[in-house]
Structure 1
Amino acid sequence: MPRKLRFGIISTSYHYSLRVHDQLVGSQKVEPVAIASRSLDTARAYAADHGIPRAYGSYEELLADPEIDAVFNPLPNFLHAEWVIKAAEAGKHSLCEKPMGDDAAQVREMAAACEKNGVLLSEAFMFRFAARNRRAREIIASGELGRIWAVKAGFSFNVPRSPRNIRHYPEMAGGALADAGCYTVAATRFLLGAEPVAVLSSMHIDEEFGVDMSGSGILEFPGGPTGLISYSMEDAGSQQIEVIGFDGRMVLDQFVISAGEPGTISVRANRSDVERVEHFQADLIYRAEFETFADAVRGEAELPFDQRDAIAQARVLDALRESARLERKVGLPPQPGR
């Protein structure tokens, strides 16, 4: 395998262009070598704008390229499974945008296809590679806050109402839980390093579009910690986590989209007026995510967030939807292998 892991990008994604591509330029471990679109002209223009060597007029042509080792899949949610499975069948590893699939059953199908073909699969929650979010997990593990009894995670933004926006289509795996709430679930699991055993959820389902526009949930974790999540795509933008322990509390602002930008962690001991603020410089969270994936593909390191993690994440999202539908708490039996 060449020194750099060669990535093909499936779709001329605005997200990839806006946030990801520039962070990969100059990497010693990964290289974007091809872009695919349903239009060859679109792919060629995008490739020229981003300095990507090859352009394809179909996703199938990109997957047939023998000089591509892995794909980054930032397609709309409802297309993730189809193209991860096709990539696996073509012998390509997949780094797939969130949410991995429509539900846990679909994610298991994706994982099975990757295992059958000997390729790796990971869900691209980039915030897990931000220095301050990793530092927050260290603070929790150190015991400085004492035994944790609550993690409050909220993520919201405003999406203009439009029948042209795929977030408003249930058949396209739209809705606020898939688009925003998944981050609050993943962040709570990440910080606590554990899986919830039960959830209780409430959702606002829009009468016109039939998707959840906002919601909240309670995640019960083994040993007592509770995750309190809220999310919305019809609210003013906010991203905050508060971790509360018996000996202190910690606050992280802008933990998702701006996780790689300069930021702070604030820690205060209970019964104290003194607040410690840790400052963090900007870091290349997308580069770190891609390079970690590359290290795992080469066998140089374990993949920290593999298909088992993606299945565990999807199981929680499934349980939140079921709880909202049934209007009661839903249990989560232990996942084999976790």
Structure 2
Amino acid sequence: MAMVLQLTTFLQQYLYSRPDIKALGKEENAVRLGIIGGSAMINAASIIHPVETHPGVKILAVASRKLKDAQSTAKKYKIPQAYGSYEELLADPEIEAVYISVPNGLHGEWAIKSLQAGKHVLLEKPFTSNGLEARKVFDIAKQSNKFICEAFHWQFHPAAHVVKSLLASGKFGDIKSTYARMVTPKNTIPGNDIRWQWALGGGALMDETYALHATRYFVGADPETLLGTDIKPTIVNASSKPWSKDKRVDSASWADLRFDTEDGKVINSKIYVDMDQPNLGYIIPKAWQLPSIQIECEKATIYFYNFMMPHIYHYIAITDKITKHTTYQKHYNYGPKWQEIGDPHWSTYRYQLEAFADRIRGKTPLHWITSDDSIAQMETIDQIYLKNGLYPRPVTSEVQEER
């Protein structure tokens, strides 16, 4: 049953990434991309199909720990080269950028090795195992004169920019509080899944880090706070439900956060993430609830449903506090940043790829996940883990050697 639920999730992503739509051809100077972590289930939706629709990007190679896995992926998606090790792909001089989708705990290690090999990097979330490692990765990027972007794909979508612009307009007054949640029904993630492994960066707060990221992004949109992308809240309270098979891993986490504005105001935020949401009455599985965030302002409450995958389905509900009237919005393209760039079929990953390719080719991307943002995100996760007693995830060997 668990595997069925998991496969259904990826099937949904696959179908809505529109694999039937292809670019008519590739540009002569198309970005030459390689995939590190070729057997990851997410690759089809997150990078392969977006590349197929982008005339300015092409995938030259895929690498897995096992050559047969890389060959299988290469054959299925008509990728020219398959490598049986990540090192071989990084040694390929034709590849100028890599997409990394290895397990969480290996993100930092392979980001560093990729940058040192002279590749630009699109790195899956969470950025690294902890804040220390995040800082090290960006130090290496600066030394290598290459750039790296955390693949928080949701934030590249027009719907996210619309919500942020609504908050920044000041029309609804100051942000007073937020509540973000992301839950996965019980038994959806098999017990042998790497997301349960502490040493590989497992746990609800790490894997379902979108709830915290959305909170930080939208709170930073308040025009009265002057908070930037590097904002880090005070952790007022944090608790977790340890996984039954490894008490170091959180199957669920809760946190109360406080953002202090420069003018003395306070924004109170709550997050709830759960990789094993209990059944109703311990028997009946709960319906799958897509990630959402509620933002309470002085004059209205804004509810953004499915902020993580808005290209599949979403809505933005705005409820006036006085009239109680609710209006609804949906935005699958356009928006304040992209304007006429993009199509309704573009997924969050496709918008992300557009920005990534633009930067490689010397253009200014219309949206970007900054180094300050990624570092602040990981350092906030560290603080939540310290508060709930589970402690940050371990660093990789490259960082430990220089401590």
The TM-score, its normalising length taken from structure 1, stands at 0.91
Q: Which one of the candidate residues 289, 295, 305 is aligned to 2:358? A: 295
CA distance in 2, matches of 1:231, 1:87: 31
Asked if the contact 2:35/2:99 (under 8 Å) is kept, the reply is: yes
CA distance in 1, matches of 2:90, 2:84: 12
Match in the other structure for 2:32:
6
Asked if the contact 1:196/1:222 (under 8 Å) is kept, the reply is: no
Asked if the contact 2:232/2:377 (under 8 Å) is kept, the reply is: no
Note if 1:317 corresponds to 2:381: yes
Deviation, 1:207, is 4.0
Q: Greater share of strand residues, 1 or 2?
A: 1
CA distance in 2, matches of 1:40, 1:197: 44
For residues 312-333 of structure 1, the C-alpha deviation after alignment (integer angstroms, 9 at most, x for no partner) is 1101101111111299xxxxxx
Dislocated runs of 4+, deviation >4 Å: none
Asked if the contact 1:6/1:31 (under 8 Å) is kept, the reply is: yes
Match in the other structure for 2:348:
285
Match in the other structure for 2:193:
165
Secondary structure (helix, strand or coil) at the match of 1:143 reads coil
Deviation, 1:17, is 1.9
Letter of the 2:360 partner, please give it: V
Match in the other structure for 1:248:
300
Asked if the contact 2:300/2:320 (under 8 Å) is kept, the reply is: yes
Match in the other structure for 1:220:
258
For residues 283-324 of structure 1, the C-alpha deviation after alignment (integer angstroms, 9 at most, x for no partner) is 321111122122222331157213222111101101111111
Asked if the contact 2:105/2:128 (under 8 Å) is kept, the reply is: yes
CA distance in 2, matches of 1:326, 1:171: 13
Deviation, 1:95, is 0.7
Q: Which one of the candidate residues 60, 72, 93 is aligned to 2:87? A: 60
Distance change (3 Å), C-alpha of 1:90 and 1:167: same
Letter of the 1:290 partner, please give it: L
Secondary structure (helix, strand or coil) at the match of 1:225 reads strand
CA distance in 2, matches of 1:320, 1:99: 15
Asked if the contact 1:9/1:35 (under 8 Å) is kept, the reply is: yes
Note if 1:105 corresponds to 2:138: no
After superposition, residues 8-47 of structure 1 pair within 5 angstroms as 8-12=34-38, 13-47=40-74
For residues 175-195 of structure 1, the C-alpha deviation after alignment (integer angstroms, 9 at most, x for no partner) is 110011x11111111112241
CA distance in 2, matches of 1:41, 1:118: 34
Letter of the 1:246 partner, please give it: E
Letter of the 1:266 partner, please give it: A
CA distance in 1, matches of 2:186, 2:61: 31
Letter of the 1:221 partner, please give it: F
Distance change (3 Å), C-alpha of 1:40 and 1:159: farther
Asked if the contact 1:218/1:229 (under 8 Å) is kept, the reply is: yes
Match in the other structure for 1:262:
313
Deviation, 1:156, is 0.6
Unpaired runs of 5+ residues, structure 1, are: 328-338
Letter of the 1:227 partner, please give it: S
CA distance in 2, matches of 1:154, 1:220: 17
Distance change (3 Å), C-alpha of 1:14 and 1:112: same
Distance change (3 Å), C-alpha of 1:162 and 1:41: closer
Letter of the 2:56 partner, please give it: K
CA distance in 1, matches of 2:112, 2:217: 26
CA distance in 1, matches of 2:51, 2:302: 32
CA distance in 2, matches of 1:225, 1:250: 15
CA distance in 1, matches of 2:118, 2:168: 38
Please identify, of 299-308 and 65-74, the stretch whose mean Cα deviation from structure 2 is larger: 299-308
Secondary structure (helix, strand or coil) at the match of 1:228 reads strand
Match in the other structure for 1:204:
241
CA distance in 1, matches of 2:46, 2:207: 17
Asked if the contact 1:196/1:220 (under 8 Å) is kept, the reply is: no
The TM-score, its normalising length taken from structure 2, stands at 0.76
For residues 36-70 of structure 1, the C-alpha deviation after alignment (integer angstroms, 9 at most, x for no partner) is 11222221221111121221111111101111111
Q: Cα RMSD (Å) of the superposition?
A: 2.0
Match in the other structure for 1:94:
121
CA distance in 1, matches of 2:59, 2:213: 27
Please identify, of 153-162 and 143-152, the stretch whose mean Cα deviation from structure 2 is larger: 153-162
Asked if the contact 1:156/1:233 (under 8 Å) is kept, the reply is: yes
CA distance in 1, matches of 2:33, 2:260: 39
Percent identity for Structure 1 against Structure 2? 29
